[in-house]
Amino acid sequence: MRRSRVLAFALLAACGGGVGTSSDPAGPFAVGVAQRTFVDETRPTAANGDVPAQDSRTLRTRIWYPAAGAQQRNAGGELIEVADAPPARTEGPFPLIVFAHGFQAVVEVYRQLYVAWAERGYVVAAANFPLSSSGNEGPPVFLDYVSQPGDISFLIDSMIAVSADRSDFFGGLVDAERIGAAGQSLGGFTTMGVAFHTCCADPRIDAAAPMAASLAEFPGGEYFTGIERPILVIHGDEDETVPYEAGREIFARANRPKYLVTILGGDHIVPYVASPREPLTEPVRLSSLAFFDRYLRGRRSAFQELLAVDDLLQARVEAEP
């Protein structure tokens, strides 16, 4: 029996419930998607080439969510989202996952992840960042990642606010007491900042899953000191953009509980953005669902699913409770 499996069994036996309850509806749900624009009037956006500076930061956001009614599938049988489908409000409120995209990306490239999470019963909010997204005017700016933890916190504020307004389309849909964060590449840097760096850690985040990330520098503060929220590190062992050793360093330095899913043969892009039929995406979906089910829903049985990831040819799981 692998060491990772021994540790996972110990974790399953030793840990109590998470912040959720095992009786939460976990789908499968139909999936809806809607668009919102949130503007943070308290924080500026720097000038970018010919684009002048702004006194605010604009987050063009797409939201995937559990929807009422029957699931919709494409001709290939894959689950698809339906624009502005009625939310499954009577089954909520649902945990929230905020997602941070990578450099020169747009939120839609990760849609297979969002659809899987929403089908399971999560509201997923993903915003195109003001400067690092390829969907904005001007060239993408890498170093603006230091401002993006603030964007994620504002996105959490905004989602809680629309849910608190019972007249809003999303009224009553988000459980403000159960919040997860995830992100890939530069979005993984952002996730590390907003969840695990004392410069900008948001105390409302209950668990976080950085993907293809590193211990990027943030001004002031340090990583992990006094921060013990659960972390799931996902990294490909053939990642040539952010080397695999960076993910191992996060895992080594993080406080428990912590988990490392190594995507065997995984590069920097394919495991996170490819079709659900691509074998390298399966460990990412399964492990992230198990992780969030455990720590946002308190489903202790979710570790059986995490162990199943360890049996896949494409992944290896390490766990330290």
Concatenating the DSSP letter of every residue in 274-288 gives: S-TTSGGGHHHHHHH
Q: How confident is the model at residue 187 (pLDDT cuts 50, 70, 90)?
A: very high
**For the chain, which residues make up each domain, given as ranges?**
3-13+23-320
What pLDDT, on the 0 to 100 scale, is given for residue 301? Answer: 81
What was the pLDDT predicted at 7? 36
**Distant-in-sequence, close-in-space partners of 118: CB < 8 Å, separation ≥ 6:** 29, 31, 32, 64, 65, 66, 67, 81, 124
Banded model confidence at residue 6, pLDDT cuts 50, 70, 90: very low
pLDDT of 285 higher than 80: yes
pLDDT score of 9 more than 50 = no
Query: What mean pLDDT do residues 141-166 have?
Result: 97
Given a cut of 60, is residue 61 above it in pLDDT?
Answer: yes
CA-derived radius of gyration, the chain = 18
* Stretch 59-83: mean pLDDT: 96
* Alpha-helical regions (H) of 111-211: 111-120, 148-164, 186-196
pLDDT higher than 80, residue 290: yes
Give the CATH class of 3-13+23-320.
alpha beta
Q: What is the rounded average pLDDT of the residues 178-202?
A: 98
The pLDDT of residue 19 is: 60
Average confidence (pLDDT) over 128-135: 92
pLDDT digits over 13-43, tens only?
A: 333 344 655 557 778 999 999 999 999 999 9
- Above pLDDT 90, what percent of the chain? 80
pLDDT of residue 1: 35
pTM of the model as a whole: 0.92
pLDDT at 178 over 60: yes
> ω into residue 321 within 30 of 0, thus cis?
no
**Residue 183 pLDDT exceeds 60:** yes
Q: How is the beta sheet containing 174-184 ordered, strand by strand?
A: 82-83, 30-40, 57-67, 123-128, 94-100, 174-184, 207-211, 231-236, 258-263, 315-320
pLDDT, mean over the chain: 91
Name the E strands within the chain.
30-40, 57-67, 72-73, 79-80, 82-83, 94-100, 123-128, 174-184, 207-211, 231-236, 258-263, 315-320
Among 48-62, 232-246, 297-311, which range has the highest average pLDDT? Answer: 232-246
pLDDT score recorded for residue 228: 95
pLDDT at 24: 75
pLDDT value of position 8 = 40
Please, which pLDDT band fits residue 307 given cuts at 50, 70 and 90?
A: low
